[in-house]
Amino acid sequence: MIKIKNLKVWVWEKVILNWVNIEFEIWKNYCLLWKNGSGKSTLSSFLMWHPWYNYIEWSVEIDWKDLFSLWVEERSAAWLFLSFQNVPEITGINLWEYLRIIYNISLKNINKDQKDISPFIFKRHVKKYLDELSIPEIFLDRDLNVGFSGWEKRKIEILQMKLIWPKYIILDEIDSWLDLDAFRAVAEMLKNLSSENNTLIIITHYFKILEYVSVDKVYVMKDWKVEREWWIDMINEIMEKGFE
């Protein structure tokens, strides 16, 4: 469980999260809603320790560990994964090496004595996911996300999820930069990824993705805090009447 209590965050003397209280249980899916600028993406970036953000009040636990005692890599080791709204391109980092490194780290999170998987064995392992996601094997020779389309970047993110199987997956407007066909394909992949072993936290102000991925609870964020929590029928109400 991720449990956030009385979280107040500021950057450059401006409050960007104001007494946030929210919980995400494992095996359940959630949706964060409201207009742009309401604090949804800020919350996700803060959980992964965005370097700009400062906190003055807090209580955040992930599986009963104090989140603020964990560095960024330790938060990833605690099975927290963030899918970016705008996926960065990183020149000089080979995609195949990057995937192999994060896969070996994920294995060592389970067993500290685990030895690194050899490049040969890893390539055989990753190939089944490449085939499943229709990712050309030649992509592995390219730099991380460099020159990829929005659709290809999303598939690379889902490939990472399949390799390391994080427990808490934050999807920050994953429907951004996708055409209709690409969106449908990504939504279907997320539907297949969702299981009793993980939690999807969907950040969006559109609702089409919820036709593919079912959620158990909706949190409405307004004025940088959780204004209301509700069940999925609130989505239908907002679709009919608008946010206001």
pLDDT value of position 1: 85
| 90 and 150 Cβ atoms separated by less than 8 Å | no
Picking from 2, 104, 17, the residue whose alpha carbon sits closest to that of residue 52 is 17
pLDDT value of position 39: 64
Distance between CA atoms of residues 213 and 129, nearest Å: 21
Picking from 38, 39, 41, 33, the residue whose alpha carbon sits closest to that of residue 238 is 33
pLDDT value of position 223: 65
Percent of the chain with pLDDT over 90: 30
Report which of residues 218 and 206 the model is more confident about.
218
pLDDT value of position 224: 53
Average pLDDT over residues 175-199: 87
Picking from 123, 158, 163, the residue whose alpha carbon sits closest to that of residue 140 is 123
| 5 and 17 Cβ atoms separated by less than 8 Å | no
Main-chain dihedrals φ then ψ at residue 3, nearest 5 degrees: -125, 115
- pTM score, whole prediction: 0.86
| Alpha-helix runs per DSSP H in 173-232 | 180-193
- Tens digits of residue pLDDT in 10-40: 777 776 677 778 888 988 999 887 666 566 7
pLDDT value of position 2: 87
**Burial class (CB within 10 angstroms; exposed 0-12, middle 13-18, buried 19+) of 151:** middle
Picking from 190, 183, 226, the residue whose alpha carbon sits closest to that of residue 206 is 183
Percent of the chain with pLDDT over 70: 84
pLDDT value of position 43: 81
Average pLDDT over residues 48-75: 73
Distances (CA, A) of 237 to 206, 207, 244: 13, 12, 11
DSSP string, 59-89: -EEETTEEGGGS-HHHHHHTTEEEE-SSPPP
The mean of the pLDDT values for the chain is 83
- Tens digits of residue pLDDT in 69-102: 777 777 777 788 999 888 999 999 999 999 999 9
pLDDT value of position 230: 62
Distance between CA atoms of residues 211 and 202, nearest Å: 13
